[in-house]
């Protein structure tokens, strides 16, 4: 394999606002991008094949290469704090950063691939090929535990301080109640490869995999719900859940699935690309990455522009469609920064409102589709859509 020497890239960003709401960014590379992580709406990292590690500080408009001594394929980026990060590679090397990903040091953890990582406080678990499991009590010194079997283990997540769940090939599902030191097998009900696992809330984990597999697993209750989404030809490679318990899953064949209020719906991209990873840093702002260096950003929760309404668990708007006034009802009394944007992203209204119910003057808005964005005094963000008659 030819070694790629990292260089600093400044790339002209060409934005195309598609009907699906996803705006393509210019990464500057053509290798597959396998993982993405954002600290906030503007600052993030993406990594993929051939030792490519990219950084942006302007919301994806420009990306630069981060110097790192690897030509391997990177599998996952993970940060347990705003500064302490981990980068897992297919050659078994583990890269760590203590400065938010600006520089990295390497340690050889295995000769086989390491694929997934999760932390609860200082306690960490890494899983990889051949059923390998590694644990640490403080984030630096890793100990290899007994293998989970012959299958590749693709991902792992902590549900609480001590309970962790790992998923992998052949429908393998494993649970640990002692921070990854010992494990028990759980019957998943499928033989499909399970690729990714994400925490939805304090009781439920979301698992995705090949042949459109989605499982909703409650480890404490011992129940598994198989979700039928009608995607028998699609591989769901990653899933991301936000602070409002809304999840997005992505995969091959331009697949983007959206879970809201317990229901999964397809909100596929217009571009026919295979997607490898998704990360929504807020309820509204998210990124997906995939083959051939593709990176996309969405600023409206992942919904296509043609969707006439979004229901979230803590926001209600009426009348539908709006006329001279839009009434907004929320679940929590607070102070809210309010912003309304057009379908093209133009800000048409901004204000600060108090309480759990307020009215917005919409009589001067032209007929059409608008986005409502709310930010509470505690920084909690949510959004909706409404039509103006």
- Please say which residue of 298, 325, 351 terminates a domain: 298
Q: Are residues 171 and 224 in the same domain?
A: yes
Question: For 176-209, how does the pLDDT look when each residue is reduced to its tens digit (9 = 90+)?
Answer: 999 999 999 999 999 999 999 999 999 999 999 9
Q: Are residues 115 and 239 in the same domain?
A: yes
Residue 246 belongs to domain with CATH number: 2.130.10.10
- Please say which residue of 236, 271, 298 terminates a domain: 298
List the domain range (segments joined by +) for residue 362. Answer: 315-388
pLDDT tens per residue, the chain (389 residues)? 333 323 232 233 333 445 678 999 999 999 999 999 999 999 999 999 999 999 999 999 999 999 999 999 999 999 999 999 999 999 999 999 999 999 999 999 999 999 999 999 999 999 999 999 999 999 999 999 999 998 999 999 999 999 999 999 999 999 999 999 999 999 999 999 999 999 999 999 999 999 999 999 999 999 999 998 778 789 999 999 987 788 999 999 999 998 887 888 888 898 999 999 999 998 889 999 999 999 999 987 776 654 433 445 468 899 989 999 999 998 778 889 899 988 767 889 999 999 989 999 999 999 888 888 888 776 666 778 888 98
Q: Are residues 376 and 245 in the same domain?
A: no
| N residues, the chain | 389
In a domain, 108, yes or no: yes
In a domain, 303, yes or no: no
Question: For 320-363, how does the pLDDT look when each residue is reduced to its tens digit (9 = 90+)?
Answer: 899 999 999 987 788 898 999 887 678 899 999 999 899 999 99
- Which residues neighbour 302 within 8 Å (Cβ) at sequence distance 6 or greater? 21, 248, 256, 258, 267, 280, 286
Using CA atoms, how far apart are residues 389 and 387, in angstroms rounded to an integer? 6
Q: Are residues 233 and 380 in the same domain?
A: no
Confidence (pLDDT) at 380: 67
pTM above 0.95, yes or no: no
> What SS3 state is found at 262?
coil
Q: Are residues 131 and 223 in the same domain?
A: yes
Q: Are residues 200 and 275 in the same domain?
A: yes
Using CA atoms, how far apart are residues 131 and 167, in angstroms rounded to an integer? 10
- Please say which residue of 239, 264, 298 terminates a domain: 298
Confidence (pLDDT) at 6: 33
- Is the peptide bond between 319 and the residue preceding it cis, with omega within 30 degrees of 0? yes
In a domain, 210, yes or no: yes
CB 236 within 8 A of CB 214: yes
Question: For 301-331, how does the pLDDT look when each residue is reduced to its tens digit (9 = 90+)?
Answer: 776 654 433 445 468 899 989 999 999 998 7
Q: Are residues 265 and 337 in the same domain?
A: no
In a domain, 14, yes or no: no
Q: Are residues 30 and 146 in the same domain?
A: yes
Q: Are residues 132 and 231 in the same domain?
A: yes
> What SS3 state is found at 131?
helix
In a domain, 4, yes or no: no
């Amino acid at each position: 394999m030819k070694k790629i020497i990292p260089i600093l890239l400044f790339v002209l960003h060409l934005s195309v606002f598609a009907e699906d709401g996803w705006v393509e960014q210019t990464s500057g590379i053509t290798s597959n991008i396998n993982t993405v992580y954002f600290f906030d709406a503007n600052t993030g990292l993406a990594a993929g094949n051939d030792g490519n590690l990219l950084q942006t500080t302007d919301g994806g408009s420009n990306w630069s290469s981060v110097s790192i001594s690897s030509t391997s394929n990177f599998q996952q980026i993970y940060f347990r704090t705003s500064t302490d990060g981990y980068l897992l590679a297919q050659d078994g090397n583990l890269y760590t950063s203590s400065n938010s990903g600006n520089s990295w040091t390497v340690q050889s953890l295995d000769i086989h691939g390491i694929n997934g990582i999760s932390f609860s406080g200082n306690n960490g678990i890494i899983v990889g090929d051949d059923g390998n499991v590694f644990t640490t009590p403080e984030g630096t010194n890793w100990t290899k535990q007994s293998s989970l079997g012959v299958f590749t283990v693709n991902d792992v997540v902590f549900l609480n301080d001590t309970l962790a769940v790992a998923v992998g090939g052949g429908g393998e599902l494993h649970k640990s109640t002692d921070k990854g030191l010992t494990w028990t097998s759980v019957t998943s009900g499928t033989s499909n490869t399970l690729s990714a696992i994400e925490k939805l809330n304090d009781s439920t984990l979301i698992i995705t995999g090949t042949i459109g597999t989605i499982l909703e697993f409650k480890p404490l209750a011992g129940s598994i719900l198989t979700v039928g989404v009608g995607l028998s030809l699609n591989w769901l490679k990653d899933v991301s859940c936000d602070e409002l318990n809304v999840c997005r899953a992505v995969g091959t064949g331009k697949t983007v699935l959206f879970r809201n209020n317990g229901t999964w719906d397809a909100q596929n991209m217009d571009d026919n690309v295979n997607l490898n990873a998704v990360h929504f840093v807020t309820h509204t702002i998210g990124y997906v990455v995939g083959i051939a260096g593709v990176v996309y950003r969405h600023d409206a929760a992942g919904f296509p522009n043609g969707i006439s309404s979004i229901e979230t668990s803590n926001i209600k708007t009426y009348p539908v469609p709006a006329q001279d006034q839009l009434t907004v009802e929320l679940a929590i009394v607070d102070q809210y920064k309010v912003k309304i944007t057009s379908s093209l992203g133009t800000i048409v209204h901004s204000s600060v409102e108090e309480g759990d119910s307020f009215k917005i003057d919409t009589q001067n808005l032209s007929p059409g589709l608008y986005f409502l964005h709310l930010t509470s005094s505690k920084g909690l963000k949510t959004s909706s859509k409404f039509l103006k008659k």
